[in-house]
Amino acid sequence: MASEMIVAIQKSFPGRLSVDASFRLPLDPPTILILFGPSGAGKTTVLRCLAGLEWPEQGSIQFGDEVWVETKVGTRMPPQKRRIGFMSQDYSLFPSHSVEDNIAFGLGELDAASRRQRVTEVMALLQLQGAERVRPNQLSGGQQQRVALARAIARRPQLLLLDEPLSALDAPTQSKLCGELRSLLKQLAIPSVVVTHDWAEALTLGDQMTVINEGRVLQTGTPQEVFSRPRDAEVARIVGVETVVQGRVIDSSSGLSTIDVDGTKLMALADAELGLDVFVCVRAEDVVLETLGVGATSARNHLAGTVREVTIMGALVRIRIDCGFLLSALVTRSAVEDLRLSPGVPVVAAIKAGAVHLVSRGSRAASACASA
């Protein structure tokens, strides 16, 4: 049996929505699982159950050979025994302890020499040298996040749990740290569960992704799968970005990049490195459809294609267009009538360069995580 973590938990809160979630996380090779959903969806509750800070009313959590929770027989392994690294949204650094003492806090089982060595190691890994004696509240948000990560990984946990790891930071710092976080997680090779509501973060960090809404698991798959093929309208609405395709940067100058997607060229408003492999993300509502032969517009991307699929979603209609790759557009019903959109009809999709988002998974992150 391949080693994996199997989670199936139920928990209810008086007057609030209940959580009923099941998912699996392969441990070998170590996998990064994204729990994705809007705020209040129950993601944090699931994470706290994994950490042992909340107890499900029913269900089980199995980690490889270890049983962490099994309500049928009353097994409840306390957080101390699970050998996890947990990082809460606000980092929960100890204000009474220096950076060094924060990181060494969980290393009580080591002797003084190996403890010092481990602290030095982890601080070097996260580029925190020189901050040993500083109190956490003297650090910038980005540095605090590093200290919290350092503290979480210092004990060499067998599972890393990160709750909105970047949400407490300002946008430029977020995009900088997101790429770094991905390379760090890959380098550490620890199975991880990351809670986020940011699609760019999910695409950058995740190997697997589980969409949760109102306490329930809606869809699981690789981030690209989930984003580009949402199971239903609810998932599509939650993830927000329906076109996610892989491409390569072939030109970049003065803030504009040209990306090649299977032979189709797209302009994006981003500084990206030449030759970088990126995810190209377009929100369906940012795509404008035109009939053939309309004159020049300000949109930089005009993609000729054929309508493949027309799905009515309430007042809006989702059109899938084949223009070298599958592009989703969201238009009104009257637009469908005016343009006579139906499968097989040729159409031009116009997208402003600013609506083409690039998410890099390389360590040389260009504009990773800069979600709109």
Partner 1 sequence: MAIAVTLKLAALTALILVVIGLPLAHWLSFSRWRWKFLVESVVALPLVLPPTVLGFYILVAIGPQSPLGRFYIAIVGHPLPFTFEGLLFASVLYSLPFAVQPFVAAFEQVDRRLIEASWTLGVSRIKTFFKLIIPLSVAGVVTGFVLSFAHTLGEFGVVLMVGGNIEGVTRTVSIDIYDEVQALNYAGAAKTALFLLAISYAVLLGVYAMNRKVWTIWPQK
Only segment of 22-30, 93-101, 309-317, 344-352 that touches partner 1 (CB under 8 A) = 93-101
Compute the CA torsion angle 299, 301, 304, 305 (nearest 10 deg).
Answer: -110
Closest separation between CB of residue 159 and partner 1, Å?
A: 11
90 interacts with partner 1 by CB under 8 A: yes
Size of the site for partner 1 (CB under 8 A): 28
Closest separation between CB of residue 84 and partner 1, Å?
A: 6
Residues 249 and 258 sit within 8 Å (Cβ to Cβ)? yes
Closest separation between CB of residue 146 and partner 1, Å?
A: 16
111 interacts with partner 1 by CB under 8 A: no
Would you say 65 or 109 has its CB closer to partner 1?
A: 109
Element (H, E) at 130: none
Query: Using CB under 8 A, which residues numbered 39 to 58 contact partner 1?
Result: 51-53
Question: 346-351 and 243-253 as β-strands: parallel, antiparallel, unpaired?
Answer: unpaired
From candidates 14, 74, 95, 293, binder to partner 1 by CB under 8 A: 95
Would you say 126 or 370 has its CB closer to partner 1?
A: 126
Would you say 156 or 364 has its CB closer to partner 1?
A: 156
Query: Using CB under 8 A, which residues numbered 67 to 86 contact partner 1?
Result: 78-86
What lies within 8 Å, CB to CB, of 176 at 6+ separation is: 142, 365
Only segment of 92-100, 177-185, 300-308, 348-356 that touches partner 1 (CB under 8 A) = 92-100
Q: How many CA atoms lie within 13 A of 33 on its CB side?
A: 29
**Cα Rg of the chain (Å, integer):** 23
115 interacts with partner 1 by CB under 8 A: no
155 interacts with partner 1 by CB under 8 A: yes
Nearest to 66 by CA among 40, 84, 53, 48: 84
Only segment of 130-138, 232-240, 261-269, 325-333 that touches partner 1 (CB under 8 A) = 130-138
From candidates 3, 55, 57, 92, binder to partner 1 by CB under 8 A: 92
Residues 249 and 257 sit within 8 Å (Cβ to Cβ)? yes
Would you say 135 or 231 has its CB closer to partner 1?
A: 135
Which residue in this structure is represented by tokens 């360590």? 363
The DSSP result for 89-107, as a single string, is TT----TTS-HHHHHHTT-
From candidates 29, 109, 130, 298, binder to partner 1 by CB under 8 A: 109
Instruction: Specify whether the backbone of 214 is left (phi greater than 0), alpha (psi in -120 to 50) or beta.
Output: left
Would you say 47 or 336 has its CB closer to partner 1?
A: 47
Nearest to 242 by CA among 327, 147, 118, 115: 327
Buried b (16+ CB within 10 A) or exposed e, 47-71: bbbbbbebebeebbbbbbeeebbeb
Which amino acid is present at 159? Answer: L
From candidates 22, 105, 216, 362, binder to partner 1 by CB under 8 A: 105
Q: Which residues bind partner 1 (CB under 8 A)?
A: 51-53, 78-86, 88, 90, 92, 94-97, 105-106, 108-109, 135, 137-138, 151, 155
